[in-house]
Structure 1
Amino acid sequence: MLLKNALFSQAGFGITANTILLLFHVLPSLQDCRLKPSSLTVCHLALVHIAMFLTTVFLVSPDLFESMHFQNDFKCKALYYLSRVMQGLSICTTCVLSTLQAITLSPSTSWMAQFKHKSVHFITRVYVFMWTLSLSSCASLAFYVVAFSNLNQTRFLKLNKYCSISRMNSIVRYLFYALTTSRDVCFVGVMLISSMYLLNLLFKHQRRVQYLHSTSHSSTPCPEKRAMQTILLLVGFFVVMFWMDFIISSFPTRLSDDGPVIQTIRRLVSKIYATVSPLVLLSSDRRVIGVLRSVKQAFNSLLH
């Protein structure tokens, strides 16, 4: 119950944070009647994380699970399948966001500058590829998720009160983990390369303008340094959470005896990035700072 309460609290906070992030990018775009590729990617990431939290809440809440008027077997397959698809899309979208940032901030002399105008046309194809890859890579797992019953508890791993997953054949299990792991490691590798490229650009730019800040005694970090810290925090935190989730999921046989407890712990760990990432993106957005200052000024004027 303690772990479930922590999961519900995490889901409530994560849904709220991602909804705020979504609104901060959608509302200004409605006024301009267009959505930039970077804003579109942030919106997609926020929607993926919201869907991820919702599927988790339906899986662990008996009342919400029973409120869906479908057979338990179909509900188990659909919810567990969607949760894995959203987890894969989170990795893919973070990779695309990091790559778009590197393309956007690359100098005109860089080889990546040629993709600046093409990114608008290719972004739709990228999303089609991401969704196709995530949907197909997790399709086989849905066949192993069934409704739980006391008759099959010796042959199945219990996921929650209603759902369980069959013990896969060792060859099938290793093949599935090899495919999903290679997909995730590939996207994480591209994300790290693009982030390091972006950090290198920011470092070079900071050195060029360092003499402008040498006479300043302000403790406020320059925009380049603040952007560098934001990227390092987002990428570093993502990689740490990715490997923590990978370590937990790599030992299904050893951890299978603990059943729902291990599943709940894994859900908590795998959703930490979805909870923290909107806070990191919001803290680096100047519009959010401007809104907070406006709210503070309005609040002070009401007090006086």
Structure 2
Amino acid sequence: MTINEKIMNVIFFSQTGIGVLGNSFLTCLFIFTHLSGHSKRPIDTILIQLTLVNCLVLLPKGIPQIMATLGLKNFLDDFGCKIVFYLQRVSRGLSLTMTCLLSVFQAITITPPSFSSVELKVRAPKYIIPSSLCSWTFHLLLNVFIALGMKGPRHPGNITEIQHFEYCSYPSAPKYQAILLSIIFSFPDAVYMGLMAFASGYMVFLLYRHHKQVQQIHISSISARTSPEIRATQTILLLVSTFVSIYSLNSIFTAYMHFRKTSLWLTQTSAFLTLSFPAVSPYLLISNDSQVSRYCYALCWRKRPHSGLAAD
């Protein structure tokens, strides 16, 4: 094993291990608060799905990547490659969808009250679960067609007509067909990214307007305090901006690999970017979301007798 392979192995192992640990902790935390009867935000339903999707990104992508950097190039057959690649595609799409749903719902939550917005705020939480079910169903069905084309690393054929991804391969389609398929399968991603950009821009505008209003109030006790909704919005904007930056950069690498001959550094860089957001996002939530911090506090103090938590 070369020094570069050792470095990449440590990086992928760290990303996968730290990411699974953080997302598993948050998943258990949300489940605990739900079962213990603590009041939770409607947005927590989306967050718990995001943590589950993050684990779904990390495990099917991180574990094969670690094994590949260890030199185990032929550990998957055709069926194994189809399953692994299918899970990777589904989790990638769901990660985008849940982040989009998170930003759109929060934008609705902080919309200034009016006759139409009040009605929308009341109805929005009721559509979270149906929207989530539709998203899961859509991605589970859409990516079946892509996964069927995956082959094992020893797939016979002309080497120039096959794209190799370290532990799997994919027969290259004619250029016009590859462009058409890329447009079709990229269209949902473009819609989600557009909705996310619009919702994020709207939230930035509302936060800016709120900041200007606070500056006009010269009462220190009011201006020094940030409402929970504003802090939650800032956290979601941080999550969204992190996701968009990583996703956009990874999309450039992925598109380049589809139309050019793949290389080891391109494949590993793309894998690193894919694992980055699910590895980082739970810690962004833990450190920036005051409600998540409150859940952690409740979990720790519940184990102590006479904690006085019930009086809160």
TM-score, shorter chain, exceeding 0.5:
yes
User: Where does residue 262 of structure 1 map in the other structure?
Assistant: 266
User: Where does residue 179 of structure 1 map in the other structure?
Assistant: 184
Aligned partner of residue 152 in structure 1, secondary structure:
coil
**Identity over aligned residues, as a percent?**
27
Aligned mates of 2:133, 2:113 — CA distance in 1: 29
Cα offset for 1:80? 0.5
Deviates more, 1:72-81 or 1:168-177: 168-177
2:181 matched to 1:170? no
**Residue among 140, 143, 147 paired with 2:145:** 140
**Residue among 19, 23, 45 paired with 1:40:** 45
Distance 1:92 1:110, change over 3 A: farther
Cα offset for 1:110? 5.9
Aligned mates of 1:214, 1:8 — CA distance in 2: 51
Q: Is the 8 A contact 2:162 2:172 kept in 1?
A: yes
Instruction: Give RMSD over aligned pairs.
Output: 3.2
Q: Is the 8 A contact 1:14 1:274 kept in 2?
A: yes
Aligned partner of residue 145 in structure 1, secondary structure:
coil
User: Where does residue 285 of structure 1 map in the other structure?
Assistant: 289
Aligned mates of 2:291, 2:247 — CA distance in 1: 30
2:271 matched to 1:271? no
Cα offset for 1:36? 4.6
Aligned mates of 1:266, 1:104 — CA distance in 2: 35
Distance 1:268 1:71, change over 3 A: closer
Distance 1:227 1:41, change over 3 A: closer
User: Where does residue 301 of structure 1 map in the other structure?
Assistant: none
Q: Is the 8 A contact 1:144 1:168 kept in 2?
A: no
User: Where does residue 302 of structure 1 map in the other structure?
Assistant: none
Q: Is the 8 A contact 1:230 1:284 kept in 2?
A: yes
Aligned partner of residue 165 in structure 1, secondary structure:
strand
User: Where does residue 195 of structure 2 map in the other structure?
Assistant: 190
Cα offset for 1:79? 0.6
Residues 10-25 of structure 1: pairs in structure 2 closer than 5 A: 10-25=15-30
User: Where does residue 90 of structure 1 map in the other structure?
Assistant: 95
**Residue among 111, 115, 119 paired with 2:116:** 111
User: Where does residue 66 of structure 1 map in the other structure?
Assistant: none
Deviates more, 1:131-140 or 1:179-188: 131-140
Deviates more, 1:13-22 or 1:52-61: 52-61
Q: Is the 8 A contact 2:16 2:63 kept in 1?
A: no
What amino acid sits opposite 1:187 in the alignment?
Answer: Y
Q: Is the 8 A contact 1:73 1:146 kept in 2?
A: yes
What amino acid sits opposite 1:241 in the alignment?
Answer: I
Aligned residues: 288
2:136 matched to 1:152? no
| TM-score scaled by length of structure 1 | 0.82
Distance 1:112 1:137, change over 3 A: farther
Deviates more, 1:134-143 or 1:91-100: 134-143
Flag structure 2 segments of 5+ consecutive residues without an equivalent.
69-74, 302-312
Distance 1:114 1:181, change over 3 A: same
Q: Is the 8 A contact 1:45 1:90 kept in 2?
A: yes
Q: Is the 8 A contact 1:206 1:225 kept in 2?
A: no
